[in-house]
Amino acid sequence: MGKDSKSKEASGKGKGKQAASGSDESSSKGKGKGGKSADGLGTCTYVKARHVLCEKQGKINEAYKKLQDGWLNNGDKVPPAEFAKIAAEYSECPSGKKGGDLGWFPRGKMAGPFQEVAFNTPVGVTSAPFKSTHGYHIILAEGRKN
């Protein structure tokens, strides 16, 4: 629902974008006039991300505090290698052994809130902790593509 209305607002066209030929799709790759489409937020097809997953809110908050103390409170972006160390230490997901690396995944593969945050977090930015059906997460967006 929200995804469709965002793309309509950002492009001003909205209808028929999915059914149109590849030429419309390539025009939304971030070279458009609107600010939202320029960074690909809400319009990209794939995201590359790392995450930390914890069952308990207290544990995810502890991991996020480490990220805040090291980088976020200074206005810095968390380097992927440092995020990977936090994921390896705190994450309860099997991906934690790989530094929380989820690789590239398409829109529609992840559950609701996780997908929403992953596809709306700018590249290089770390999300605030949030809850999904699987537990509590922090996401580091590493890339996006169509």
By three-state DSSP, how is residue 19 classified? Answer: coil
Domain limits of the chain? 46-145
Cα–Cα distance, 63 to 129 (Å, whole number): 9
The model carries a pTM of 0.72
Can you tell me the distance from the alpha carbon of 20 to that of 60, in angstroms, rounded to the nearest whole number? 42
Q: One digit per residue, pLDDT tens: the chain, 146 residues?
A: 444 443 333 334 333 333 333 333 333 333 333 334 445 566 789 999 999 999 999 999 999 999 999 999 999 999 999 999 999 999 999 999 999 999 999 999 998 899 999 999 999 999 999 999 999 999 999 999 99
CATH code 3.10.50.40 for 46-145: yes
What type of residue is 118?
A
